[in-house]
């Protein structure tokens, strides 16, 4: 059902999910309008990937701020089940409990963060992998296409079934993660950590390789294949 204004969309709603511009002032203004139009019990969630709920709700009265949270989906959101539920400093415990339950009712896989942190969980993990990937390409260790092949045929497959800590817990055998860290931990700790050049000039060679490998704009078949594989993985997991 289409609405012609935020007020019309929020009127009578029990659950409001905002996906407006990633601009703090714009979100504060929009949430003030949504709070005015929505019922007093309605949860008010933002899809923001960077702006915390505390900042969005900072000008709202306490009773309204208590209902404001982040409900951050992961791209592509029509396929990825994850939603990161992140309460603000004034979000009520009740709202923090209800929001994940509502997402689960819609078939999503919510996680609840215990405190606000820039980038939340998914993007922080993605950023760590991105920075190491950029370093490996910048330093001439590997080319973009081969790096992606490595991830698709190792970590990507593993992480589709188990998370990184769960996978290492399994890798430790009967001793679990403790045994894994005792056996492999020192070797992992010895791997050098570098700060890649994330400037425009520094990432230009990486970007150029990506454009050469995948086209610009990216070839449509790549997104189609991504969606096909991801949907097949979700179907397979649902059968388990």
Q: Is residue 117 part of a domain?
A: no
Query: Which of residues 50 and 104 earns the better pLDDT score?
Result: 104
Whether residue 235 sits in one domain with residue 126:
yes
Q: What CATH code is carried by the domain that includes residue 95?
A: 3.40.50.720
The yes-or-no answer on residue 239 being catalytic is no
Whether residue 158 sits in one domain with residue 98:
no
Domain finish residue from 82, 112, 142: 112
Q: What is the largest CA-CA distance in the chain?
A: 60
CA distance 43 to 14: 6
Please tell me which residue in 7, 8, 84, 116 is annotated as part of the active site: 84
Q: What are phi and psi of 82, to 5 degrees?
A: -65, 135
In this prediction, residues 190-214 reach a mean pLDDT of 96
Domain finish residue from 112, 130, 158: 112
Q: Is residue 78 part of a domain?
A: yes
In this predicted model, what pLDDT tens digit does every residue of 93-129 receive, in sequence order? 999 999 999 999 999 999 999 999 999 999 999 999 9
Question: Quick one: how far is CA 228 from the chain centroid?
Answer: 20
Q: Which of 34, 112, 122 is nearest to 71 (CA)?
A: 112
CB neighbours of 129 closer than 8 A, spacing ≥ 6? 151
Q: Provide the number of structural domains found in the chain.
A: 2
Q: Is residue 148 part of a domain?
A: yes
Tokens standing for residue 231: 């949907």
Range of the domain at 208: 122-239
Tokens standing for residue 139: 């330093």
Q: pTM score, two decimals? A: 0.90
Q: Is residue 185 part of a domain?
A: yes
Confidence of residue 240 (pLDDT cuts 50, 70, 90): confident
């Amino acid at each position: 059902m289409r609405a012609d204004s935020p007020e019309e969309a929020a009127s009578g709603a029990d659950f409001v999910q905002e996906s407006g511009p990633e601009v703090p002032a714009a979100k504060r203004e929009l949430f003030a309008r949504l709070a005015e139009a929505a019922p007093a019990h309605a949860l008010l969630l933002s899809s923001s990937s960077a702006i915390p709920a505390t900042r969005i709700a900072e000008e709202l009265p306490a009773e309204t701020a208590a209902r404001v949270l982040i409900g951050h989906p992961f791209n592509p959101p029509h396929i990825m089940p994850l939603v990161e539920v992140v309460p603000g400093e004034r979000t009520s415990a009740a709202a923090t409990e209800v929001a994940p339950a509502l997402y689960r009712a819609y078939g999503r896989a919510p996680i609840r963060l215990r405190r606000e942190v820039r980038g939340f969980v998914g993007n922080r993990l993605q950023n760590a992998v991105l920075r190491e990937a950029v370093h490996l390409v910048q330093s001439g260790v590997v080319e973009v296409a081969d790096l992606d092949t490595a991830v698709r045929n190792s970590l990507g497959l593993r992480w589709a079934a188990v998370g990184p800590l769960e996978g290492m817990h399994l890798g430790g055998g009967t001793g679990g993660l403790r045994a894994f860290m005792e056996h492999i931990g020192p070797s992992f700790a010895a791997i050098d950590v570098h700060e890649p050049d994330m400037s425009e000039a520094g990432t230009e060679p990486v970007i150029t390789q990506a454009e050469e490998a995948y086209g610009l704009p990216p070839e449509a078949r790549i997104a189609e294949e991504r969606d096909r594989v991801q949907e097949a993985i979700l179907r397979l997991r649902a059968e388990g």
